[in-house]
Amino acid sequence: MSRNLELFERGKQVIPGGVNSPVRAFGQVGGTPRFVARAEGAYFWDADGKQYLDYVGSWGPAIVGHAHPEVVKAVQDAAVGGLSFGAPTEGEVVIAEEICKLLPSVEQVRLVSSGTEATMTAIRLARGFTGRDLIVKFEGCYHGHSDSLLVKAGSGLLTFGNPSSGGVPADFTKHTLVLQYNDAEQLARTFAEIGDQIACVILEPIAGNMNLIQPSREFVQALRSLTEKHGAVLIYDEVMTGFRVAKGCAQGLHGITPDLTTLGKVVGGGMPLAAFGGRADIMGKIAPLGTVYQAGTLSGNPLSVAAGLATLKLIQQPGFYETLGGRTARLAQGLADEAKKAGVTLSTDSVGGMFGFYFSDRAPKSYAEATGCDIERFKRFFHAMLDEGIYFAPSAYEAGFVSIAHSDDMIEQTVAAAGRAFARVAG
């Protein structure tokens, strides 16, 4: 028996589903999850000693590659000085200054330990600031697993969301309104009707949890102008896109100044660190200054801050995003070319170090279009690539991630492997 399978079987005895986060279980694609023994640069090695070129990168954080020596050294040095204090440290001030410098929309920032905490608190803060209850999210956008954000997709205009998870009372989601991504008209109609009740609109400014979906210019401009006009807080959830799509994040690419921003993944360099921040008048409502409560025993953990600071330094090296974006775009184009050669219907897209490929004739613009892609063919392609030693996300609904450690040669190897894999899944 393979060691991966043995660990999976043992894990299932003592961990629900054998994993500590559901998508790791390979539920959509089937087969045995790869248990990671170690990782370095663009590669990881599984429990059977097989090497994989990794396009998941811990679901986004590993933008400088795994175990980057400068990040590891920063964490080692921090660890020697103590693991957690529950009292402020200089590093927290430095990383907050750094985030405020990189994101002009962020005047003040608070550190937390996960993206879920960041979005959950940003929403509480928006409600506390506006004195309103209603929140707007978009179908297919994932913002972590807090109760009010786990709302079933698929509702039309003014249909209030049902919980999409067991254990969430309908009462908890009755203030969550689910609209369609990229539908500026629906958004305008909603604001015209009930804009004065809306505390905030939260979105993935480039969606990465329904595969990669980019918003139209019209949509992001409508979001900014309508929220501003009606006194609602615009929350850019940049947990995934933050320092992933550009140094100035998605908001920089869009030329939009949100009221609040949430960050995670890259900002913690692979350690548990996330953040929410934005306008000083809104942030002033958070405890201890204001009445909106938020706290965390491990918030601003010194090891996480050290990893985050080392990573933020590396991404600011000249040419970082040009190189990363160029390689990612080449991968996306290469996949499209190889699919065409094999007679497989595929479209692709990329932005910065994030990419999507869709078994459909054009890149989706909404959740409905994303779920309309050929999932069966995706599964076969996923396994064919796994056989080639290429690790893509084990779900058709996740974006892919390239790191700066993925060299031009590695990208070309991936494209060549994809050519063989498409030939296998054609027909």
Pick the closer one to ligand PLP by CB: 258 or 334: 258
142 is a site residue for ligand PLP (CB under 6 A): yes
Query: Are the C-beta atoms of residues 254 and 233 closer than 8 Å to each other?
Result: no
Q: Point out which span in 114-122, 165-173, 341-349, 385-393 binds ligand PLP (CB under 6 A).
A: 114-122
Give the Cα separation of 370 and 201 in Å (integer): 22
* Catalytic residue chosen out of the listed positions 43, 52, 55, 142: 142
Pick the closer one to ligand PLP by CB: 308 or 334: 308
Burial class (CB in 10 A: 0-12, 13-18, 19+), 164: middle
Q: Which of 57, 144, 302, 364 binds ligand PLP (CB under 6 A)?
A: 144
Give the Cα separation of 403 and 408 in Å (integer): 11
46 is a site residue for ligand PLP (CB under 6 A): no
- Map the footprint of ligand PLP across residues 177-206, applying CB under 6 A: 204
Pick the closer one to ligand PLP by CB: 180 or 241: 241
* Catalytic residue chosen out of the listed positions 237, 259, 367, 397: 237
- Map the footprint of ligand PLP across residues 228-257, applying CB under 6 A: 237, 239-240
Burial class (CB in 10 A: 0-12, 13-18, 19+), 49: exposed
Tokens of 358: 């869709």
Active site residue 293: no
The site that binds ligand PLP (CB under 6 A) totals a number of residues, namely 16
139 is a site residue for ligand PLP (CB under 6 A): no
119 is a site residue for ligand PLP (CB under 6 A): yes
Active site residue 237: yes
338 is a site residue for ligand PLP (CB under 6 A): no
Q: Provide, rounded to whole angstroms, the least separation between the CB of residue 193 and ligand PLP.
A: 27
Q: State the catalytic residues.
A: 142, 237, 265
Q: Provide the binding-site residues for ligand PLP, judged by CB under 6 A.
A: 59, 114-116, 119, 142-144, 204, 208-209, 237, 239-240, 264, 274
